[in-house]
A and B are shown apart, each in its own frame.
Chain A
Amino acid sequence: MLPATLDDLKVLDLSQGLAGPICAKILADFGADVIKVEPPEGDAARAMAPHHGDEPHPEKSLIYLLANLNKRGVRLNIEDAEGRALLRELARQTDVIVESFKPGYLAALGLDYAALSRENPRLIMISITPFGQTGPYAEYENEEIVTYAMSGIMSISGLAEREPLKHGGMQSQYEGGLSGVVGVLAALTARDMMGEGQYVDVSLQDVVTSTLVIHQPMYGWTGGVQGRRRLTGSNYGHVQPCKDGYFIWQTGGGAEWSDIIEFFGVEALKEERFASVAGRALHGEELDRLVLDATRDRTMQELFRTASEKYHMLFGVVQEPGDLAQCPHLEAREFFQEVDHPVIGRIKVPFRLWSMPDAPAVYRRCAPLLGEHNAEVFGALGIDPGRLAMLAAKGVI
């Protein structure tokens, strides 16, 4: 068996939804023993659509399934004193805690980093929350669209003529998860070298704003502020329709401007005014029209293959979720993992984010049912079956 980079680590995942759970899931993929700790009503993701069969059953949440692969799960009421004692007991043996509660919640229960690290100075804890633990908006109510608005990215997304546009899905949550892994690994590196754990505070607003490396410095360089694209004259800033869908192209890659002209087969593009970056920006509207005329009878697949293979152009086609589910490239990259879920049945799930042949992400277990590993996890703390039964009867576990 290949060595796993994190198989010496124990992680408690107290987080809910998508950002924190994805962070903890990636740690599990590389070998960490991750215990998902859910409140009695379960992770909020269990109630989030979509569900398998569109049935709002807590064990059929597709978001929960996706974000909690490779974890064991316990159900624990930390608002109860005995529940808190159990969590403190678990935390003593833990390397990393991932959490996403509202700022102040864990402190009120005596379970914040200051309290838990007193008994375990090597503990690392990461909080991934909408606005972080500090600042005037730390307590603000949040929803995906709010993070999007306040991170700046919405102001440049959509059309100039219309309202700013949120991206589809829950991008800030995935970004928070991916970015959170960097935070954990940096703290872990520091601990490996210097022996001490620490607390890492991640704000989703900071995370999404951090992606604006073109937009953000423009103001500090010139006072310039980008807006949203105009509908016309966008100069390849938008997708454009072709025979059976949409495509998008850019200059650069392995293609010279002359290659691009040949690919589109448009004589007029040879004119001097299109020869430079500035010229193409200035005459963007006409450029769009010429390209549109030249591609209306070509299909997405043909355009994608010819542009990419023959002309080495930067070229994309609008793929839908169903296209991704069937994508031969994703299959070849082992992106999907077939899992057997006790309630949902057999299903393939997006799993592997990147490839690392000597120490790969390995699938070991499906996402846990609510409280599935109570006996196993609390039993390992030395709690006998009689007391476990009593705690269960009292609703602590």
Chain B
Amino acid sequence: MIRMSKRPLEGIRVIDSSYVFAGPYATGLLGDLGAEVIKVEGPTRPDFTRGGAFSGLLPDNEMGADPWNRMSSYNLVNRGKKSVVLDLTRPEGREVLVDLIKASDVIVENFTPRVMRGWGLDYPNMKKINPGIIMVSNTGYGRGGPYSAYPAQATTQEATHGLAAVTGYADGDPSKAGQSYVDFLAAWTIASAAMLGLRYRRRFGHGLWADIGMYQLGCYNVSEYVLDNIANGTRGERIGNRHRQYAPQGCYRCAGTDAWCVLSVRDDAEWVALCRVIGQDALAADPRFITEESRRNNHDAIDALISRWTCTVSKIEAMERLQAAGVAAGAVLDGRDLNFDPQLRARGLLEMVDFPQDRKMGPRRPLLGRPWKFSASPLAIKGPAPAYGQHNHEVLREILGYDESRCAALASAGIIVDKPVKPREVPVMGMDKRVEIGRLAYWDPDYKQKLGIA
């Protein structure tokens, strides 16, 4: 096979005029795929991941002079981009964006429809500026429909798009998922819509507009519950970690701190195998558990028997012994385990990203790569996320052809800036305090040694 030397999106320029996770992550991934991505933010409106609730943590929890450039989640989703900070509330700033749109292939944005229309940058105007542009709009609810103008964010949408209602311990309250769930459905959808748009342009000669509403994506992922309601009138109950059919299935406490292993028994043969692993061969013939239905009916009793065994072994040993016997089982991996799991390591999902010394990030940090392995286009994160406004001059001069005096004028008028006028709040709190109030479960002071990045 001929090795393709180029990445799939080499030569494609993408404007990331979006905030938080969905758009920034989508465009970060398009960057991994070879696109040149230019992130556009505002002087009083730095990305939400540069501080506040969504930003994660600072390197070694140290504030430094420019915390907005060093937050963990910001640096993950914005890898490999160029940063331009542009005051879009002023006409001179929008003029620069219009020039950038003329020179680009894709723009991803998540402003409210009202803002884009007000700026004359809704799709009907956008395509007059550049008929070839592919515009991907990602909002909470999409255009049209009664909720279209409602503000939205993944945490609150988890409830509204139906996932919380079917997630939860049996007989308990609805539960929210770990974090910003629907953003990631949107991230992949944005990336797909952009590539569909590019292909549409290759075939038919002009761009298009994709209108993504995250709510709709979240609802799609509970489709079988919705269809079950439409067909059979079922309400969709919360069953915790159990399965509507297979039994036993659950999450069991193992030896160690907050250590757990899940397992699922999908037929009678796996039940016999499970009984053998937990040292209870006689159970396999016990009439209380002999059929799947009887195991569902006596699930609590089975759970107690399984836990008696799992408590005596580590989560990894439990997983390995169950899998060796052909039972579907997995250790519950936490944020530390993800760095050392042999499978994720073999797949190379986490990539070490090197930071220049002046970024004060430490030399390198591990970041999520991509969930796709391409046989002919091996990919890697291209480089670190940019500092705020780092590429103002480079982009304006090299891409837009502005001369130095024009750049200087824009800078002195505050149209382009490289320091937030209004930085987002970064909570100051010691690591031990974060553990005490439950924001973290624990922390490893020697994590750098463990990761080999000291």
Q: Which of B178-237 contact A (CB under 8 A)?
A: 178-181, 184-185, 188-189, 191-193, 195-200, 202-204, 208-213, 215-217, 219-236
Q: Which of B224-255 contact A (CB under 8 A)?
A: 224-236, 238, 240-241, 243-246, 249-253
Which residue of the partner chain, among B159, B217, B343, contacts A135 with CB atoms under 8 Å?
Answer: B343
- Chain A: which residue is nearest B337 at the CB level? A152
Once A194-B4, A315-B156, A316-B159 are accepted as A-B contacts, the answer to whether A218 and B175 lie under 8 Å apart by CB is no
- Chain B: which residue is nearest A232 at the CB level? B438
A135 with B346: CB separation less than 8 A: yes
Q: Which of B56-64, B284-292, B395-403, B405-413 contacts A (4 or more CB under 8 A)?
A: B56-64
Find the residue from A50, A113, A146 having the highest chain B CB count within 10 A: A146
Once A182-B191, A239-B176, A359-B200 are accepted as A-B contacts, the answer to whether A165 and B229 lie under 8 Å apart by CB is no
A169 with B177: CB separation less than 8 A: no
Interface code A362-376, partner B: CB below 8 Å = 1, 0 otherwise?
Answer: 000000000000000
Whether A215 is near chain B, meaning CB under 8 Å from some CB there, is yes
Bound-state Cα–Cα, A190 to B59, Å: 37
Bound-state Cα–Cα, A244 to B201, Å: 49
A239 with B2: CB separation less than 8 A: no
- The minimal Cβ–Cβ distance linking A94 to chain B, given in whole angstroms, is 17
Once A54-B232, A189-B195, A189-B198 are accepted as A-B contacts, the answer to whether A217 and B53 lie under 8 Å apart by CB is no
- Chain A: which residue is nearest B177 at the CB level? A167
Q: Which of B39-47, B84-92, B260-268, B275-283 contacts A (4 or more CB under 8 A)?
A: B260-268
Whether B9 is near chain A, meaning CB under 8 Å from some CB there, is yes
B431 with A186: CB separation less than 8 A: no
Once A168-B167, A353-B216 are accepted as A-B contacts, the answer to whether A213 and B371 lie under 8 Å apart by CB is no
Bound-state Cα–Cα, A201 to B348, Å: 13
Bound-state Cα–Cα, A378 to B246, Å: 37
For A251, what are the chain B residues with a Cβ–Cβ distance below 8 Å?
53
B330 with A201: CB separation less than 8 A: no
Q: Which of B126-160 contact A (CB under 8 A)?
A: 141-153, 155-160
A49 with B225: CB separation less than 8 A: no
Once A53-B231, A200-B372 are accepted as A-B contacts, the answer to whether A146 and B244 lie under 8 Å apart by CB is no
Q: Which of A72-80, A98-106, A324-332, A379-387 contacts B (4 or more CB under 8 A)?
A: A324-332
Q: Which of A265-273, A287-295, A342-350 contacts B (4 or more CB under 8 A)?
A: A342-350
B372 with A182: CB separation less than 8 A: yes
For B189, what are the chain A residues with a Cβ–Cβ distance below 8 Å?
178, 353-354
For B446, what are the chain A residues with a Cβ–Cβ distance below 8 Å?
223
B75 with A198: CB separation less than 8 A: no
Q: Which of B94-102, B294-302, B374-382 contacts A (4 or more CB under 8 A)?
A: B374-382
Whether A92 is near chain B, meaning CB under 8 Å from some CB there, is no
Whether A309 is near chain B, meaning CB under 8 Å from some CB there, is yes
- The minimal Cβ–Cβ distance linking B299 to chain A, given in whole angstroms, is 14
B156 with A250: CB separation less than 8 A: yes
- The minimal Cβ–Cβ distance linking B426 to chain A, given in whole angstroms, is 9
Whether A63 is near chain B, meaning CB under 8 Å from some CB there, is yes
Once A168-B167, A335-B216, A348-B230 are accepted as A-B contacts, the answer to whether A239 and B159 lie under 8 Å apart by CB is yes
Q: How large is the interface on A (under 10, 10 to 19, 20 to 34, 35 or more residues)?
A: 35 or more
B235 with A320: CB separation less than 8 A: yes
A189 with B217: CB separation less than 8 A: no
Whether B33 is near chain A, meaning CB under 8 Å from some CB there, is yes
Bound-state Cα–Cα, A225 to B445, Å: 11
For B434, what are the chain A residues with a Cβ–Cβ distance below 8 Å?
224
Once A181-B192, A248-B158 are accepted as A-B contacts, the answer to whether A62 and B151 lie under 8 Å apart by CB is no
Once A214-B56, A238-B176 are accepted as A-B contacts, the answer to whether A145 and B336 lie under 8 Å apart by CB is no
Whether A11 is near chain B, meaning CB under 8 Å from some CB there, is no
- Chain B: which residue is nearest A358 at the CB level? B208
Once A198-B4, A211-B184, A358-B208 are accepted as A-B contacts, the answer to whether A169 and B151 lie under 8 Å apart by CB is no
Whether B443 is near chain A, meaning CB under 8 Å from some CB there, is yes
Give how many A-B residue pairs fall within 8 Å (CB-CB).
588
B153 with A252: CB separation less than 8 A: yes
Which residue of the partner chain, among B1, B158, B330, contacts A147 with CB atoms under 8 Å?
Answer: B330
Once A156-B179, A169-B222 are accepted as A-B contacts, the answer to whether A320 and B165 lie under 8 Å apart by CB is yes
Q: Which of A35-43, A82-90, A274-282, A389-397 contacts B (4 or more CB under 8 A)?
A: A274-282
Whether B338 is near chain A, meaning CB under 8 Å from some CB there, is yes
For B82, what are the chain A residues with a Cβ–Cβ distance below 8 Å?
none
For B9, what are the chain A residues with a Cβ–Cβ distance below 8 Å?
186, 189
Interface code B360-379, partner A: CB below 8 Å = 1, 0 otherwise?
Answer: 00000111101111111100
- Chain A: which residue is nearest B20 at the CB level? A252
B204 with A3: CB separation less than 8 A: yes
- Secondary structure call for the A interface: mixed
Bound-state Cα–Cα, A12 to B149, Å: 40
Interface code A201-216, partner B: CB below 8 Å = 1, 0 otherwise?
Answer: 1110111011111111
A198 with B173: CB separation less than 8 A: no
Whether B163 is near chain A, meaning CB under 8 Å from some CB there, is yes
Find the residue from B2, B29, B372 having the highest chain A CB count within 10 A: B372
For B161, what are the chain A residues with a Cβ–Cβ distance below 8 Å?
319, 324
A201 with B373: CB separation less than 8 A: yes
- The minimal Cβ–Cβ distance linking B11 to chain A, given in whole angstroms, is 8
A170 with B224: CB separation less than 8 A: yes
Bound-state Cα–Cα, A150 to B399, Å: 44
Whether A65 is near chain B, meaning CB under 8 Å from some CB there, is yes
Q: Which of B321-329, B386-394, B415-423 contacts A (4 or more CB under 8 A)?
A: B321-329
Bound-state Cα–Cα, A212 to B183, Å: 11
B195 with A224: CB separation less than 8 A: no
A321 with B323: CB separation less than 8 A: no
B145 with A328: CB separation less than 8 A: yes
Once A141-B323, A220-B447, A316-B160 are accepted as A-B contacts, the answer to whether A165 and B175 lie under 8 Å apart by CB is yes
- The minimal Cβ–Cβ distance linking B263 to chain A, given in whole angstroms, is 8
- The minimal Cβ–Cβ distance linking B397 to chain A, given in whole angstroms, is 28
Whether A34 is near chain B, meaning CB under 8 Å from some CB there, is no
A227 with B264: CB separation less than 8 A: no
Interface code A12-39, partner B: CB below 8 Å = 1, 0 otherwise?
Answer: 0000000000000010001000000000
A222 with B60: CB separation less than 8 A: yes
Once A222-B59, A314-B156 are accepted as A-B contacts, the answer to whether A169 and B166 lie under 8 Å apart by CB is yes
Which residue of the partner chain, among A194, A205, A210, A331, contacts B343 with CB atoms under 8 Å?
Answer: A205
Q: Which of A288-343 contact B (CB under 8 A)?
A: 304, 308-309, 312-325, 327-333, 335
Bound-state Cα–Cα, A150 to B8, Å: 30
Could you list some 16 contacts between A and B, CB below 8 A? A62-B227, A113-B375, A149-B261, A150-B341, A185-B192, A192-B199, A193-B6, A209-B371, A212-B335, A217-B75, A219-B339, A220-B365, A222-B443, A329-B215, A350-B219, A354-B213
What would 19 more interface pairs be, CB under 8 Å, given A186-B377, A199-B375, A220-B365?
A66-B224, A135-B347, A157-B178, A158-B175, A167-B181, A174-B223, A182-B195, A188-B195, A209-B368, A212-B368, A213-B25, A219-B339, A225-B335, A227-B441, A238-B173, A239-B174, A277-B53, A316-B152, A356-B193
For the complex of A and B, the 10 pairs showing the least CB-CB separation, nearest first, are A227-B441, A168-B166, A223-B447, A316-B156, A332-B145, A135-B346, A253-B151, A316-B159, A143-B264, A198-B376
